[in-house]
Amino acid sequence: MKASAPGKVILFGEHAVVYGRHAVVTAINLRCYAEALKSSTFRIESPIATTSLDFEKHPYVSYAIKRFMEVKPIDGVKIKIESEIPIASGLGSSAAVTVAVLKALDAEFDAGLSDEELFELARKVELDVQGRGSGTDPFVSTYGGAWLIPERKPLDLGEFRMLIVNSGEESITSEMVAKVARLRDELGDVVERIFDVIDTISLKAFAGEGEISRLMAVNQCMLKAIGVSTKRIDEIVEELEGLGIAAKITGAGGGGSVVGVGSDEALQRAAKLFSGIIVEPEREGARVED
């Protein structure tokens, strides 16, 4: 059986959300597709590699199968993955592949998982691989839509278009989350206060208070302060702002993507200049594909 799950854009609150602060997040119209077929052995085919269960080359997929087997033991499965979501780019490719694989396993082996049970398994997989995580990505890949996290308050973004510019540098979430944890251990209250500022920004943005471009600019400054921006990301942000586009890191940073918000005309022009893509909110989460 084949299933899919969407990627996501964190508009506000990444990293702070790992420590219980608010984030504003939306699923986007880029999806990861996974096919699961009963088999007597384990095989995983993806754009990355073809392996058996392999916790090095396919950590999220292998842990997803392992976690699924706690619910329903199986003798083997062949998993085939295709994805529209750039890998290690801050768009939640890890959660999307995890949720898509779990949804495909659920359908192929008729495990009868509810959305909440699917999310819980995906959240465990995120922790298995990353050690730390807010569960934001697994939640929004499972349920789709746009939300204020952690209360799961829905947000109607309508056709809110977002520009995604890839920095060309890989963003390895587990490494960036660990880097921020080290800084927090070192600076303690300083980092907590930065998280409080990001928390307030997310709440203001959700309430429609304050100019979104200012909120994004301050959020980006806070992400730079906790060490997850790069020279290239700073350049992209500055150049986009010069084109009248509000811009910030989306996701773990340390590379990956910058999200831009502005007029359709400005976004189209910038997409051409930066070879970026324009994405839209996605209402649908994990689903079985016909």
Ligand X SMILES: Nc1ncnc2c1ncn2[C@@H]1O[C@H](COP(=O)(O)OP(=O)(O)O)[C@@H](O)[C@H]1O
Ligand Y SMILES: C[C@@](O)(CCOP(=O)(O)O)CC(=O)O
Residues that bind Mg ion (CB under 5 A): 94, 173
Q: Which does 172 bind (CB under 5 to 8 A by kind): ligand Y, Mg ion, ligand X, none?
A: ligand X
Q: Is 95 annotated as a binding residue?
A: yes
Q: And the tokens for 9?
A: 């854009």
Q: Are the beta carbons of 250 and 14 closer than 8 angstroms?
A: yes
Which residue's CB is nearer to ligand Y, number 176 or number 261?
Answer: 176
Query: At closest approach, how far in Å is the CB of 20 from ligand Y?
Result: 11
Q: Quote the least distance from Cβ 97 to ligand X, whole Å.
A: 4
How distant, in Å, are the alpha carbons of 9, 30, 273 from that of 163? 10, 13, 12
- Give the x-and-dash track for 166-205 against ligand Y (CB under 6 A): -----x-x---x----------------------------
Please report, in angstroms and rounded to a whole number, the separation of the first and last CA atoms in the chain. 8
18 lies in the site for ligand Y, by CB under 6 A: yes
Residue 176 CB, nearest approach to ligand X (Å)? 8
CB atoms within 10 A of CB 206: 21
Q: Give the type of residue at 31.
A: R
Task: For residue 154, give Cα distances in angstroms to 147, 151, 169, 211, 239.
Answer: 4, 9, 32, 20, 32
Question: Toward ligand X, which CB reaches closer, 47 or 208?
Answer: 47
Residue 91 Cβ vs ligand Y, minimum distance, rounded to whole Å: 6
94 is in an annotated binding site: yes
Give 3-state DSSP helix, strand, coil % of the chain, rounded to 5: 45, 25, 30
In terms of CB distance, is 134 or 171 closer to ligand X? Answer: 171
The site partner of 15 among ligand X, Mg ion, ligand Y, none (C-beta below 5 to 8 Å per kind) is: ligand Y
Phi/psi at 40 (nearest 5 deg)? -90, -10
Burial bucket for residue 258 (CB in 10 Å: 0-12, 13-18, 19+): buried
Per CB under 6 A, the segment of 66-74, 86-94, 109-117, 203-211 that binds ligand Y is: 86-94
Residue numbers at the binding site for ligand X (CB under 6 A): 32, 46-48, 58-61, 81, 83, 87-94, 97, 171-173, 251-252, 256
Q: Are 280 and 162 in contact (CB under 8 A)?
A: yes
Indicate which residues carry an active-site annotation.
137
Q: Which does 59 bind (CB under 5 to 8 A by kind): ligand X, Mg ion, ligand Y, none?
A: ligand X
Give me 238's structure tokens: 């500055």
Task: Give contact residues for ligand Y (rule: CB under 6 A).
Answer: 10, 14-15, 17-18, 90-92, 94, 133-134, 136-137, 171, 173, 177, 251-252, 256
